[in-house]
A and B are shown apart, each in its own frame.
Chain A
Amino acid sequence: MSDLSKLTLAESRHGLSQKDFSSVELTTACLDSIKHQESTLHAFVTVLEDDAIESAKLADKNLASGAWNLDTHPLAGIPLSLKDNFLTKDQKTTASSKVLDNFYPQYDATVTAKLRAAGAVIIGKNNMDAWAHGSSTETSDFGPTHNPWDPTKLPGGSSGGSAAAVSSNEVICAIGSETAGSIRQPASWCGVIGFKPTYGRVSRYGVVAMEASLDSPGPLAKTVADAALLLGIIAGHDHHDATTPNLPVPNYAKALTKNISGMRIGIPNEYFLSDAQDGINDLVMRSAKQLEKLGVTLVEVSMMDPKYSIADYTIIQRAGVSSNLSRYDGVRYGHDRSYFGEEAKRRIMLGSYALSSGFYDAYYKRAQQVRMLLKRDFDRIFSSVDAILAPTSPSTALPLGATKGQSMFGELSDVLIEGSSLAGLTGVNIPVGLLGGLPVGMQLMANHFAEQTILNLAYAYEQSLSWKENTL
């Protein structure tokens, strides 16, 4: 039998339903893949081998008896991984911080519960930047994750473990979370689909918080169709999360279409940075032309310079971090605050300063005002286009150690993403080519709850060519 771990989610579902293989076989293939690669990649904080095999056996039994099928349990028997900031009941959840290195949650995150209810096999918890503070996975208190394309390179972050696990076929698919770039940027550097839903589309309940007005859980997958299916499963109103509106969840996977003719895509000149790595802008523009061939109208638009979003995002996010990390006060969880890493401490300091009496108006309040301007800028663009297209990251994967002494590393590398995150928009990274043997990502951004728009555009693009052959 060929290596089952290389299958997509759609192929895995098909094979399981056709009884070509069992969930135990599929799960074992992924566990083997993890065993072979983890010493190089370190994409996991925790591998739940025994629990995963148990879940796989249960899935096999229920699929065999007919108790489960693809309609009732769309992820029946599928081995996948979760970023380690999603709470998993009685299974260690650390957010890659030593503060929580012995934390076994009393409850499942809503996303975790939805995946379990869909029959998924949770195979492990992915490494990340500690508390999701970063864009490299290098700030993990348990050591960095390495890029499967080149282990001397970073995977990006903060969902770097999830992106690397999907990219290296350690899992069929994974769930990450994005505050500003933490799904799209590692997806870009690892060459996978990374989907960031509209803020509020997916519940944050049971996700270790970074910044409450930005955090958005979302899928990382091998194909657009896989991402669409996962999104449909984890999306929806949650009575535990007051920021999830009670809107119906479309069947994204079923509605997926290659027919995108007539759609209008805005190309903002300001997002094609003059100091971007050579070749990135060219490959992304070439991909835009590919979409044009598929019937899309490209529209040049002018937007607010994305550089303004760096400062704005930094203030809002640091303020949120300083507040959200207050609960780790040394009374609970077994460790005091000296267990916080350097990056967390820096963020707590800066955030506390921005919120302190006398500085609030100059920093936090001002940042929220600028955020409103950013949102209005997007509103203006979306009055004339369906989506915005840009590079996801100004560079391909950088070498390990690139973050050393660079306390603003993440903010600078996510410059093309932060604006859309601050505006609460949905976005997707699609791999569009290779540069020096490393993946290049293109992002499509759309208005609130317009997930289907960018899923269709990404799907049409993906189906029209083989991205790995697209080089300069």
Chain B
Amino acid sequence: MTYQLICGAEIHVELKTKSKMFCGCKNDPFHAAKPNIYTCPVCLGLPGGLPVPNQQAIENTILLGLALHSDIPTQSHFDRKHYFYPDLPKGYQISQKDEPFCQGGYVETTFGRVRLNHIHLEEDAAKMHHATVDGNKVSLIDYNRSSVALVEIVTEPDIKSPEQAKEFLKNVRDIIRSLGISDCDMEKGSMRLEANISLSPDGKLPNYKVEVKNINSFRYFANALTSEFTRQSAILDEGKTPVQETRGYRSDKSSTISQRTKEDAADYRYFPDPDIPPIEISREWVAQISKRLPELPSSKVDSLISLGISENAAKIIAINQVMMEYIDRVKTLNPKYVQQVAKDLVNKKIDSTKITPNEYIKSLDTKSTSKISDEAVLKPLIEKILADNPRVVADYKNGKQNALGFFIGAVMKATSGQADPNISSAILTNILK
């Protein structure tokens, strides 16, 4: 039987704010010289510690929402999400459930639009290190990352293929980078991915989903979809329903393994965090944040297409700052070459580090094929020029080869550069023979 892949993504991104989400500690877990140097009573979860939300993190989340076409509500609040884990010092994570900062939204892909459910803001957990110290196996906790601002982008189940997943994830990453709010470094873990995957025989949303975690590259995300497609197809073909569970992606095997089934799924006991008053989001505030929106890849693509550049080329150029600037310069110098330059950039015919837009345009100018190549048009024109310049004709006949250049220049002048130089030259030599 054939099935339609149905996938929703959850993307965690650590925000590049100056301080952590709920305290004044420095947010720089990846460059910290030692463990546990950026800590305080709040991010250590000590008794009496209280969270005070980071305005920059909130504004960056709203900025991301605006870039991804989300609705920004007039009020938002933080909730407590409870679970026990050694890297979570309060026994709960401050997150958002009912009133996230961004609702809805979408990201375009060439395979169709991927709608967002919401984007919310939360705090990251500390980092566990399992090590051997003095011969003893120990688990160590580094709180430098504890309470770093983390946004989670949750999509609707709109991803239909591994290819679409890759394109979607790349687009999201490019947008976030262009906003300057995160490095999205998958290796360091400042961008982390989860997939909710199910298969449908009829395109309708099935009554189960499998959550896949531990995915740390776009390729692995696509691989996870492929391997889950194979695994779930086999189960469905037997007339069974795949178990609703959490699975982990194993990059060494390009497959997933079961981690946790629904039976022992956590009840997070969400409730509004009473330590943090609800946040009113005025339209003035949103307007101010929106001023920080740079031109985003998707709108860049649209404006490139409007210049006559092909969609494929536009998509490649829009996410490449160097190409984008090259095209901008060409547009100013001579708009008629924009399409040609775009094509040559994408096909790597231009080494932008070696040739400036101005130089490249000039080379195109000389190569340029003229519109006037009709001998019937050119011949009378050339005859007139020869008749007007008997001395130069004589020079030519006496062996002065550069006299030919004089005539071609005169033909170009007379046609405002529209004459085909090769044909003109052929006519000239023919007459002067």
Contact = CB atoms under 8 A, between A and B. Distances in A.
Interface of A: 87, 93, 95, 100, 103, 105-107, 109, 204-209, 211-213, 239-243, 319-320, 322-323, 325-329, 331-332, 352, 355-357, 360, 364
Most buried by A among B50, B86, B92, B141: B50
A240 B50 contact: yes
A204 B269 contact: no
A205 B41 CA distance: 10
B271 A106 contact: no
B48 A326 contact: no
Contacts of B86: 329, 331
A212 B48 CA distance: 10
Contact of B92 (A87, A206, A323): A323
B257 interface: no
A254 to B, nearest CB: 30
Given A242-B276, A326-B84, A87 B48 contact: yes
Q: Across chains A and B, which 10 residue pairs bring their CB atoms closest together, nearest first?
A: A326-B91, A213-B274, A212-B274, A206-B48, A355-B269, A208-B47, A242-B52, A327-B90, A212-B275, A327-B91
A319 B92 CA distance: 13
B46 A106 contact: yes
A316 B269 CA distance: 13
Give the secondary structure class of B's interface. Answer: loop
A327 B80 contact: no
A356 B269 CA distance: 5
A250 B12 CA distance: 46
Contact of B277 (A100, A206, A242, A364): A242
Given A319-B271, A323-B271, 11 more contacts: A87-B48, A100-B47, A105-B47, A206-B49, A243-B275, A323-B92, A326-B84, A327-B90, A331-B141, A357-B269, A364-B271
A209 B47 contact: yes
B82 interface: yes
A268 B323 CA distance: 77
B52 A241 contact: yes
A93 B46 CA distance: 12
B47 A323 contact: no
B90 A241 contact: no
A212 B273 CA distance: 8
Contacts of A242: 50-53, 275-277
Interface string B334-358: 0000000000000000000000000
A323 B91 CA distance: 8
B80 A107 contact: no
Contacts of B41: 106-107, 206
B89 interface: yes
B45 interface: yes
B252 interface: no
Contact of A209 (B42, B48, B53, B141): B48
B402 to A, nearest CB: 82
B50 A327 contact: no
Contacts of B50: 204-205, 240-242
A319 B273 CA distance: 11
B267 interface: yes
B208 interface: no
Interface residues of B, number: 30
Nearest to A243: B277
A100 B48 CA distance: 13
A316 B92 CA distance: 17
Contacts of B89: 327, 331-332
A325 B80 CA distance: 13
A322 B271 CA distance: 11
A331 B47 CA distance: 14
A139 to B, nearest CB: 18
Contact of B84 (A240, A323, A329, A355): A329
Nearest to A316: B274
B82 A103 contact: no
Interface in B245-284: 267-271, 273-277
Contacts of A322: 269
Given A105-B47, A209-B48, A356 B267 contact: yes
Nearest to A319: B271
A100 B47 CA distance: 10
Contacts of A239: 52
A355 B46 contact: no
Nearest to B276: A242
A356 B90 CA distance: 18
Contacts of B52: 239-242
Nearest to B273: A212
Contacts of B84: 326, 329
A240 B276 CA distance: 11
B271 A327 contact: no
A461 B90 CA distance: 45
B405 to A, nearest CB: 79
Contacts of B267: 356-357
A47 to B, nearest CB: 21
Contacts of A209: 47-48
Nearest to A239: B52
Contacts of A243: 274-277
A203 to B, nearest CB: 8
B47 A360 contact: no
Interface in B85-132: 86, 89-92
Contacts of B45: 327
A87 B47 CA distance: 8
Interface in B282-340: none
Contacts of A100: 47
A75 B50 CA distance: 27
Contacts of A205: 48-50
A360 B49 CA distance: 26
